Amino acid sequence: MSDTPEKPGPARGDPAWVAPALRREEQTRRIGKTPVFFGPPLAILTDGQKNTMEISGRLNRTAERYLEILRHHGLALSEPERKCIAHICNIGFMSPLEIRELPFEVQMTDFECEGLDKPALAAKLEAASFADLVVVVESLGF
C-alpha cells in the first residue's frame, strides 16, 4: 500500500467526469463527437428531424434494436456451410437484396468443399427470416 494518498478523480458536475461503465452495455457516454456520413439509409431514418438530440436518440434506439436482433437471430451453420456463404459474400458489401438472394446464390455457386450439402444449405437459408440472414452475413464480417 502506498503512503501517498490517491488523487481524487473528477466528480459529478465536472466536465471531465464520465459515469463509470461496468459492462459494455452500460456504457452511456463518450467524450467528444464523432462525424458521421448520412448516406441515404440514415437520411431516410432521420428525415424531418432537425434537433441533434432527436437524431442522436433515433440512431441510438435503432442501434439498440439492431444489437438485439444480432443477439436473438441467426442460424446454426456447419463450418462448410459458413465457408460457402463467406465465399458468396466475398464480393464485399452485401445489400439487402443480395442477402435475400443467398439461397439462390448457394444453388448457383461453383464453390465446393468437403461436407457441404448445397441443396440442404439453400433450403435452410430459404426457410430463414431476413433477420436470420442478416445475422449470418454480419457474423461472417460482411
**pLDDT averaged per 10 residues in sequence order, the chain, 142 residues:** 63 62 59 78 91 90 94 95 94 89 96 96 97 95 88
Whether residue 131 is found in the same domain as residue 106: yes
Spatial CB neighbours of 24, under 8 Å, sequence gap ≥ 6: none
Domain that holds residue 50: 36-72
For 21, list phi and psi in degrees, rounded to 5. Answer: -115, 120
Task: Tell me if 55 is assigned to some domain.
Answer: yes
Q: Looking at residue 107, what is its pLDDT? A: 96
Which residue among 72, 99, 123 closes a domain? 72
Do 88 and 120 lie in one domain? The reply is yes
Q: How far apart are the first and last CA of the chain?
A: 49
Regarding whether 55 and 104 lie in a shared domain, the answer is no
Q: What pTM did the predictor assign?
A: 0.72
Q: Do 92 and 129 belong together in one domain?
A: yes
The rounded distance, in Å, linking the Cα atoms of 31 and 39 is: 24
